[in-house]
Chains A and B, each alone.
Chain A
Amino acid sequence: MVETVLAAALIGLASGAVYALIAVGLSLGFRSGGLINVAQGDLAVLAAYVGAALIGAGLSYWAAMVIVSIGAGVVMLGLDRLVFRALYGCNPVYLIIITVGISAIIEAAITWHWGGNPLVYKPALGSGVLRVGGLHLFVEDLVALGICLAVAGVLGAALRYTSIGRSVRAGASDAVAAELCGISVARARAISLAASGVLAGLGGMILAALVSLYPTTGLDITLAAFVGAVIGGFGSVWGAVLGSLIVGLVEGVAGAYVASDFHSVFVYLLLGLILIVRPAGLFGEEGVGVREV
């Protein structure tokens, strides 16, 4: 009984760790320019499909991961330059609509080029089962969890201790004051979006190694990551990580006991509870997007 719960929890945590990468990307985009990027999950799925093509062309999984992550970052940089930069400051509803369109474009492009078949990777993050006591732990889940937490840690440290990271945080915290201090907010936003693209690319490659992906999975990934980011506190990097791990954990444990149709219901009930009790999320700033009663 306990072993089953713990094994399910680890599987859930591995998925949650991937959601965390996507969620951190969403948080970066939101904090830097108020952008809620609905296409974040689709970008991850696109990265996974391109990665599979690169692996098919003879590259190793890790080399493909680096290339598609950088590529996803460049895509987001391009979108920032071509679309978002001119529209920051507009009503966020229109930015959401634009990202919905981008999501539809990416989904259609994947279906057009690769068809609607699921993407299944050969074991890339290691295979085998680790036995700890009575527990059977999948190595790929542990590796995925480790990579995601390490990346989130590196990003958190970069935001805190590097000059670029400080300029990004300053721009996100108070754009007017940051501009007055000589920080280019536009550049900080571009860096944030590029980083969110890189995280989407990484997340897509890791998720593809864990589960089968479909061209239409992107919106579900975005939603799960969005839930994680909001539970943790939208805009907070570590909040997004913790929130996403909670989402994965609840999904995993519920998956062991409840019919598959109702897995996500528990996550959304938890979300509803947290939003009602603490609308800004666990680590969110009170007053951001919240109305006092």
Chain B
Amino acid sequence: MFGSLSRPTAGRASRMLMWSAWGLAIACVILTMRAQNFQITVLGTAMVFAIASVGVGLQLKTLRLLSLGQGSMMAVGAYSQLILAGSYHWPFLSALAASLLIAVAIGSVLGLASTRVRSHYYILLTAAVQAIGAACLTGLASLTGGAQGSTTPSSISLFGMHIGTIKDLSVLAAVVAVAVAVLADLIYRSALGRRLIAAGASPALARGSGISVVGANICGNVLLAFFGALAGGLYAPLIGYLGPEEFALSLSITCVLVGVVATQWSFAMAIVAAVALQELTQSLSSVGSLSGLVYGAIIVVVGIALAVRVSGRGAGLRLRRPAASRTTPPSRISVAP
């Protein structure tokens, strides 16, 4: 259902766009390091969202699957910190490792399911994971604090270093976000990435080429869950308080928005998009109740701009549609460059 998400560009132009994206991302990281007061939390949160969104973008760009369950994956990471580090006094890294294991298990199950369930069915399956996760956060009050939420340890110890201020935590999130974007770019260009792309583009051909489609689906979903839980693990100490509303469907939608931008040029764009989105949200909060209108309008404009850019409509070019092209009228059919 979901075709290629990036417009084919010539090698040199592609490289220039990629390096531009990285330049912008590094600028965002420097901005985070130099930020003061409330801006630190805003930028730190943006970095956490970027980490989770890279997972969504990587899955979308390779397997062509769109997940609406990344909020739940973040909840796994965050609530593991709350329960294991907060209640049972586990060290930060042990709690993070436990949450990553849980996320990998969930990702494996989702990966198995995605061999049978594709496109909008997969979107709904992940939305179901999100809804079940939200129900558990509220319903299992003795563990999670229920609808009232609960406070989490706001300082962590990492390899003997004490990271206790919001600024330190934000800088840590920024460093991890850059590392995750680099990792995603490397995976995309590696043999593993090519396997994932092949499995997403044509499972039958991939299978014919000796690629394990089941393995590729599991791997893609595990990566998605891994990045989500990692982001959640960093999110918990950063905000210091966890409630179910922090991990609602709107968080997953935010990850999708940032993740789609991350599929353009380089995964570093996730950092740029997340920072832009968070800054925009903060700026609009001063507009009051009209902020939602402006926010929605910007999403619509960005969606149209991406669609026009990728489909190349301005140049009279159109993206070839996948199997479902039977709904495309003859006048719309043309060959992609």
At the interface, yes or no: A226 with Cβ under 8 Å from chain B? yes
List A contacts of B292 (CB < 8 A).
104-105, 107-109, 111-112
Number of interface residues of A (CB under 8 A): 66
At the interface, yes or no: B280 with Cβ under 8 Å from chain A? no
Contact of A93 with B5 at beta-carbon distance under 8 Å, contacts A112-B292, A289-B120 already known: yes
Tell me if B116 and A89 are in contact (CB < 8 A): no
Tell me if A291 and B290 are in contact (CB < 8 A): no
Number of A-B contacts (CB under 8 A): 206
B124, B302, B321 pick with most chain A CB within 10 angstroms? B124
Tell me if B120 and A97 are in contact (CB < 8 A): no
Select from chain B the residue with minimum beta-carbon distance to A105.
B296
List A contacts of B139 (CB < 8 A).
259, 261-262
Contacting B297 at CB < 8 Å: which of A105, A180, A259, A292? A105
Query: Quick one: CB contact mask for B113-157 with A, threshold 8 Å, 1 for yes?
Result: 101111111011101110110010011000000000000000000
Tell me if A289 and B1 are in contact (CB < 8 A): yes
B43 to A: closest C-beta gap in Å: 23
Number of interface residues of B (CB under 8 A): 69
Tell me if B121 and A234 are in contact (CB < 8 A): yes
Tell me if B118 and A289 are in contact (CB < 8 A): yes
B114 to A: closest C-beta gap in Å: 8
Tell me if A90 and B307 are in contact (CB < 8 A): yes
CA distance A92 to B327 in the complex (A): 12
Tell me if B328 and A89 are in contact (CB < 8 A): yes
At the interface, yes or no: A279 with Cβ under 8 Å from chain B? yes
B147 to A: closest C-beta gap in Å: 8
Contacting A94 at CB < 8 Å: which of B119, B214, B310? B310
Which A residues lie at the B interface, using CB under 8 A? Answer: 30, 32-34, 36, 83, 86-98, 100-109, 111-112, 171-176, 178-180, 185-186, 219, 223, 226-227, 230, 234, 259, 261-262, 264-265, 268-269, 271-272, 275-276, 279, 288-293
- Between A and B, 30 residue pairs with Cβ closer than 8 Å are A30-B120, A33-B327, A34-B324, A83-B304, A87-B307, A89-B332, A90-B307, A92-B2, A93-B60, A93-B66, A94-B303, A94-B306, A97-B260, A108-B290, A108-B293, A111-B289, A112-B290, A174-B327, A179-B331, A219-B249, A223-B131, A227-B124, A227-B128, A261-B135, A268-B129, A271-B125, A275-B125, A276-B117, A290-B116, A292-B204
